[in-house]
C-alpha cells in the first residue's frame, strides 16, 4: 500500500505466523490485507519462532498489493510486548488486537505503539489498530466505549469461537449453519459499535472454507446489513469476499445519480430519482459508497 492510499478492508486473510509456505501462497490470493497471526493459530512452543518469522516477513517489503497486519497475543497474555518489539517496523500497517474488552485496551495499545514506533523511527500513529471486540462476555458490555474512536482505530470485528468457549456453549450454530442467538447478538452489536465509532465494521470468518456458495450468500446478507468487509481463513474464500463487498456498476451509477441530483438542488431535502423518493439518509449512503471505491 502506497503512502496516502486509502486502506481497503474488503477481505482480510489470516496466515499462521509460523508458516512461510502459507504466507507465500496468501500473497497471490488477492486479499486486501494479510493478517500474520501470532495468536490462536500458533502453538505456545512455536510463538518465539513465529515472532521471528513475522518480523523477517515485514523486513522483506518490495512492492505489495496488500496491507500487512499482525494479530498479536492478548494484552494480558504476557506475550504482547514481545510481539510488538518484533513487529513494529516499516512494513507493518496495523495490529489486530484480540480479546479486547473496550476502548481502554485500545488506548493502552496505542501508548505501547507510541513507544515502539519511536524506537523504530516511525511516525507516531503510523501503525493502526483493528479490534476483535466480542471475544469475552465482559467485552460485550463495553462495545459502546470505542466511541469516540481512538485515532489509530480503523475497524471493529467480532468472533464467535472464543466467546462460545467463554460461555461454555456446546455449539454456536443451528443445524442449518445459522448463528444461535448469543452470536447473532454479538454480530449485531459489533456492527452498531463500529458505526457509532465511525470505523469500519468487519464480519467474522466462515470456518467452512469449502462451502463457497454458503459463504457468498452470507456475505451478501452481511453487506446488506452494513458490514464493509470480512475475514477469511483460506485463500479460496478471498475472491468470493471481494466480489460480495465491492459495489456493482449499477450501485455505483445509482449513487452518482443521487449525489449529482442533490448537488443540482442544494436546498432540497428530498428528491424524486428513478421513480423513487430519496432524502438525506440516501445521500449519505451514496456518498459513503462512492468513498469506499
We report the CATH number of the domain holding residue 98 as: 3.20.20.60
Enumerate long-range contacts of 238-241, CB under 8 Å, 24 or more apart.
Answer: 238/11, 238/13, 238/29, 238/30, 238/31, 239/30, 240/212, 240/215, 240/216, 241/10, 241/11, 241/215
Average pLDDT, the chain: 93
* Confidence class for position 2, pLDDT limits 50, 70, 90: very low
All residues at 6 or more sequence positions from 86 whose CB lies less than 8 Å from its CB, including other chains:
51, 52, 54, 55
pLDDT score recorded for residue 275: 85
Together in a domain, 171 and 274: no
265 inside domain: yes
Would you say residue 1 lies in a domain? no
- As a whole number, mean pLDDT of residues 16-35 equals 95
Read off the pTM: 0.89
Question: Is residue 127 domain-shared with residue 255, that is, in the same domain?
Answer: no
Residue 4 placed within a domain: no
The torsion angles phi and psi of 128, rounded to 5 degrees, stand at -95, 175
Number of structural domains in the chain: 2
Q: Are 115 and 175 within one domain?
A: yes
268's grid cell: 432540497
155 & 209 share domain: yes
- Are 152 and 274 members of one domain? no
Does residue 155 have a cis bond before it (omega within 30 degrees)?
no
Question: Is a pLDDT exceeding 70 seen at residue 5?
Answer: no
If asked whether residues 238 and 266 sit together in one domain, one would say no
The Cα diameter of the chain in Å comes to 64
**Structural domain contains residue 161:** yes
Q: Are 76 and 208 in the same domain?
A: yes
User: Which of 122-126, 207-211, 262-266 has the highest average model confidence (pLDDT)?
Assistant: 122-126
Host domain of residue 238: 11-246
- Report pLDDT for 1: 43
Long-range contacts of 174-181 (CB under 8 A, 24+ apart): 177/208, 177/214
Asked whether residue 114 falls in the same domain as residue 212, the answer is: yes
Whole-angstrom distance, CA of residue 236 vs CA of residue 130: 23
Q: Which of 23-32, 251-260, 271-280 has the highest mean pLDDT?
A: 23-32
Instruction: State the pLDDT at residue 254.
Output: 87
Assigned domain for 3 exists: no
Average pLDDT (27-42) is 96
Amino acid at each position: 500500500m502506497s503512502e496516502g492510499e486509502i486502506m481497503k478492508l474488503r477481505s482480510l486473510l489470516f496466515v499462521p505466523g509460523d508458516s512461510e509456505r502459507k504466507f507465500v501462497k496468501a500473497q497471490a490470493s488477492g486479499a486486501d490485507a494479510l493478517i500474520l497471526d501470532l495468536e490462536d493459530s500458533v502453538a505456545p512452543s512455536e510463538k518465539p519462532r513465529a515472532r521471528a518469522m513475522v518480523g523477517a516477513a515485514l523486513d522483506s517489503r518490495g512492492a505489495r498489493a496488500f496491507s500487512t497486519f499482525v494479530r498479536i497475543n492478548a494484552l494480558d497474555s504476557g506475550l504482547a510486548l514481545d510481539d510488538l518489539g518484533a513487529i513494529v517496523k516499516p512494513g507493518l500497517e496495523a495490529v489486530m488486537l484480540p480479546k479486547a474488552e473496550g476502548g481502554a485496551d485500545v488506548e493502552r495499545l496505542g501508548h505501547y505503539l507510541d513507544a515502539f514506533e519511536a524506537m523504530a523511527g516511525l511516525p507516531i500513529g503510523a501503525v493502526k489498530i483493528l479490534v476483535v471486540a466480542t471475544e469475552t462476555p465482559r467485552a460485550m458490555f463495553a462495545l459502546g466505549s470505542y466511541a469516540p474512536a481512538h485515532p489509530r482505530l480503523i475497524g471493529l470485528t467480532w468472533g464467535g469461537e472464543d466467546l462460545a468457549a467463554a460461555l461454555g456453549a456446546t455449539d454456536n450454530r443451528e443445524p442449518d449453519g445459522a448463528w444461535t442467538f448469543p452470536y447473532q447478538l454479538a454480530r449485531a452489536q459489533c456492527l452498531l459499535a463500529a458505526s457509532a465509532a465511525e470505523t469500519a465494521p468487519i464480519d467474522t470468518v466462515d470456518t467452512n472454507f469449502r462451502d463457497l456458495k454458503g459463504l457468498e450468500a452470507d456475505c451478501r446478507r452481511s453487506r446488506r446489513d452494513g458490514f464493509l468487509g470480512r475475514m477469511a481463513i483460506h485463500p479460496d474464500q478471498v475472491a468470493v469476499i471481494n466480489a460480495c463487498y465491492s459495489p456493482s456498476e449499477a450501485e455505483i451509477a445509482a449513487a452518482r445519480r443521487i449525489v449529482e441530483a442533490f448537488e443540482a438542488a442544494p436546498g432540497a431535502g428530498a428528491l424524486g430519482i428513478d421513480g423513487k423518493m430519496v432524502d438525506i439518509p440516501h445521500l449519505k449512503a451514496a456518498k459513503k459508497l462512492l468513498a469506499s471505491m
